[in-house]
């Protein structure tokens, strides 16, 4: 543990699920979507995260078409007792059809997908298994019911869902306890606060906010101008030139607040999330994504920062002014 950092608090996923550091690590960008990847640096980043008290590591079967799970495998195996590994099923894209974003919640797909993830990760049990997206053609009784069978079979320890509605969350939880809900939540994406967060709070479900840094947008007004040519975000609405300037203008407000506090804009965004979660009485474990060690200490240090009322009031209207839908 680094002595210069406050200890990362530990929280349960769900009422009695795995105990994890209150900030996790999003590993997606280590294999795909966000520009150049570097396996050596990625592995060093995983090790350093654990050293800093981060224990929840987030991947999915579709990140890098399985490559992200394979990348994490030696790390997870080496620290099996300390690492809480979360992965997801749902997307059916393959190496032959990488741009086919079809989904399946069918029981036979779930049973096949979990075995593939376990094989790539090289472990016997996945700590947290998420449905990456719900498809309404399969009743929750069948999809969550199949996930519950995986718990009984010892293949999975705890269950999670991504981006479901308040009603779906409640219904799924009645079928089998849901430990974690992973949905987008940040200064710029606050839809979850209306109906879903109150239900999660009342049921004791931990929210795992993904893209807490707005996919990089919330790390500084200049961020979008630095994207590499093979970066998927170049195609995302919020990063389009017609929206870029207006959104950068909003981020400049965050830059100013952060400067006045002597912290980075990314830290301000992460502190906002923790403060907002406290206001809503919901437990959160945000999973900022990074491919490099240099960012880790900065992000982890923000997990225990609390913003004051004036800062929260300045930030509150920004989400409504963002240009472009989130992708």
Catalytic residue numbers read 63
Alpha helices (H) along 189-325: 196-203, 241-261, 265-279, 293-301, 309-315, 318-321
Minimum distance of ligand NAP from residue 261's CB (angstroms): 15
Burial of 198 (C-beta count, 10 Å sphere; 0-12/13-18/19+): middle
Smallest gap from Cβ 35 to ligand NAP, in A, equals 7
Q: Please tell me whether residue 72 binds ligand NAP under the rule CB under 6 A.
A: no
Nearest distance from residue 256's CB to ligand NAP, in Å?
A: 17
Q: Which is nearer to ligand NAP, 22 or 182 (CB)?
A: 182
Q: Which is nearer to ligand NAP, 127 or 154 (CB)?
A: 127
For residues 315 and 250, is the Cβ–Cβ distance under 8 A?
no
x-marked contacts with ligand NAP along 273-312 as a string, rule CB under 6 A: --------------xxxxxx--x--xx-------------
Count of residues that bind ligand NAP according to CB under 6 A: 26
Which CB, 177 or 212, lies closer to ligand NAP? 212
**Binding segment (CB under 6 A) for ligand NAP, from list 70-78, 106-114, 208-216, 254-262:** 208-216
- According to DSSP, the β-strands at 19-21 and 10-12 are antiparallel
The residue among 58 and 313 lying less far from ligand NAP, judged by its C-beta, is 58
DSSP H helical ranges for 63-195? 67-78, 107-121, 140-152, 166-175
Q: Minimal CA–CA distance to 187: which of 106, 258, 84?
A: 258
Query: Does residue 224 belong to the site contacting ligand NAP (CB under 6 A)?
Result: no
Per-residue contact string for residues 80-99; x = within reach of ligand NAP by CB under 6 A = --------------------
- Nearest distance from C-beta of residue 278 to ligand NAP, angstroms: 20
Give CA separation, 73 vs 46, 124, 277, in Å. 11, 12, 32
Long-range CB pairs of 241-247 (<8 Å, 24+ gap) are 242/323, 243/323, 243/324, 246/321, 246/323, 247/188, 247/217, 247/322, 247/323, 247/324
Measured CA to CA, the distance from residue 107 to residue 144 in angstroms comes to 9
Question: Which is closer to ligand NAP, CB of 100 or CB of 153?
Answer: 100
Cα gap 99→233, rounded to integer Å = 15
Binding stretches for ligand NAP (CB under 6 A): 26-29, 34, 58, 162, 182, 210-216, 219, 266, 287-292, 295, 298-299
């Amino acid at each position: 543990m680094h002595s210069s950092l406050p200890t990362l608090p530990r929280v349960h996923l769900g009422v009695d699920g795995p105990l994890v550091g209150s900030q996790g690590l999003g590993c997606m960008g280590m294999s795909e979507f966000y520009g150049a990847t570097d396996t050596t640096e990625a592995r060093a980043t995983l090790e350093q995260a654990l050293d800093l008290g981060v224990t929840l590591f987030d991947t999915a079967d579709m990140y890098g078409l399985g490559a992200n799970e394979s990348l994490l495998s030696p790390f997870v195996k080496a620290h099996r007792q300390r690492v809480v590994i979360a992965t997801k099923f749902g997307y059916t894209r393959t190496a032959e059809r990488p741009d086919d974003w079809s989904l399946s919640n069918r029981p036979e797909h779930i049973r096949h997908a979990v075995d593939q993830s376990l094989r790539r990760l090289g472990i016997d049990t996945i700590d947290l298994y998420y449905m990456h997206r719900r498809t309404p053609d399969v009743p929750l009784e069948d999809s969550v019911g199949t996930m519950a069978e995986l718990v009984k079979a010892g293949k999975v320890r705890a269950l999670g869902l991504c981006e479901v509605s308040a009603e779906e969350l409640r219904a799924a939880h009645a079928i089998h306890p849901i430990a974690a809900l992973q949905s987008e939540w940040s200064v710029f994406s606050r839809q979850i606060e209306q109906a879903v967060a109150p239900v999660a709070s009342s049921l004791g479900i931990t929210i795992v906010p993904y893209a807490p840094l707005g996919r990089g947008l919330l790390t500084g007004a200049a961020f979008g101008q630095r994207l590499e040519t093979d970066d998927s975000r170049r195609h995302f609405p919020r990063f389009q030139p017609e929206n870029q300037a207006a959104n950068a203008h909003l981020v400049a407000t965050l830059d100013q607040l952060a400067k006045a506090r002597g912290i980075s804009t990314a830290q301000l965004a992460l502190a906002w999330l923790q403060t907002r979660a406290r206001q809503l009485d919901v437990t959160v474990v945000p999973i900022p994504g990074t491919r490099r060690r240099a960012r880790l200490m900065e992000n982890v240090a923000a997990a225990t920062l609390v913003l004051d009322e004036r800062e929260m009031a300045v930030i509150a209207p920004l989400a409504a002014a963002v240009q472009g839908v989130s992708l």
